[in-house]
Structure 1
Amino acid sequence: MKARALHVAGFGFRSEATLESLAQALDQLIDQCGAIDKLAAARSMLPLVEELGQLRHIEVIAVSDAELPTVATLTHSTQSMQARGTGSVAEAVALLAAGPNARLMGPRIISADRLATAALALAEGITE
């Protein structure tokens, strides 16, 4: 078995966000960081991310909304804190989905239409 890093892209977005908003944010992450292994979203935001996962043939991980406030994020959005109890939904989701020893590759990125955010977490030592 070979150990490698797992790249998990987490998403946060406004209710007005479209599939294109998420796809554009994902493409920014891929341009900056390379291949993405899995996508992740809070359960309440899952359908749109699942649609993106199906289109891109990438597995989607669901994260409990109740867990979002338990994660320290690099970004501290007042709006996100009031709505979801975390400084960045995208960063929190990515970290939770990637597992207990995951780390963020940087702060979230924002889609061109400013309706979606995406963040990349890296989980080290995944064995294949």
Structure 2
Amino acid sequence: MMVAGLGCRRDASADEILVAMRRAVDAAGVTLAGIDAVATADFKAGEAGVRSAAQTLGVPLVVCPRADLDRVGDRTITRSEMVAAAVGLPSVAEAAALVAAGRNARLLGPRVATATATCALAIGDGP
């Protein structure tokens, strides 16, 4: 199972989120068609751009509780001081990807960022 974990600034557009996703799959040498789910933190789940990006790909949106994101925080690659100060996590996108990918999850690389969105890819055995 491959999951695209997403983080974003408030009101980031679906287009900007999809740009981050395309950059992430390009960097990992995979395709958007290989994404089985999109995941984000529970405090980002209401963002219209995140929901729209998942709908555009035709995949489910997995909402990850903060406690689960905290649990995998030590396995993230990226350590963003800005994100840590704002939400208390080193990387929302990487943590969400790891949580949603399930058992044996591993990141395919560090998160990719645009001006308003981040995307990280993880593969795992699913929930």
TM bucket, shorter chain? 0.7 to 0.9
- Identify the structure with the greater strand proportion: 1
Q: Which residue of 1 aligns with 2:53?
A: 52
Give the distance between the partners of 2:106 and 2:81, measured in 1 at CA: 22
Measured after TM superposition, the shift of residue 56 of structure 1 is 1.8
Give the distance between the partners of 2:25 and 2:110, measured in 1 at CA: 14
Consecutive unaligned residues in structure 2, runs of 5 or more: none
TM-score of the pair, normalised by structure 2: 0.84
Kept in 1, the 8 Å contact 2:24–2:111? The answer is no
Measured after TM superposition, the shift of residue 16 of structure 1 is 4.1
Which amino acid counterpart does residue 69 of structure 1 have in structure 2?
D
Give the distance between the partners of 1:103 and 1:26, measured in 2 at CA: 17
Q: Which residue of 1 aligns with 2:116?
A: 115
Measured after TM superposition, the shift of residue 123 of structure 1 is 0.4
Kept in 2, the 8 Å contact 1:68–1:84? The answer is no
Measured after TM superposition, the shift of residue 70 of structure 1 is 2.1
Measured after TM superposition, the shift of residue 89 of structure 1 is 0.5
Can you list the C-alpha shifts for 1:54-101, whole angstroms capped at 9, x where unaligned?
122111111012332222211011111112222110000100111132
Number of residue pairs matched? 118
Q: Secondary structure at the match of 1:27?
A: helix
- Tell me which structure has the larger Cα radius of gyration: 1
Matched, 1:91 2:90: no
Identity of aligned residues (%): 37
TM-score of the pair, normalised by structure 1: 0.83
Query: Cα RMSD between the aligned structures?
Result: 1.5
Give the distance between the partners of 1:110 and 1:85, measured in 2 at CA: 18
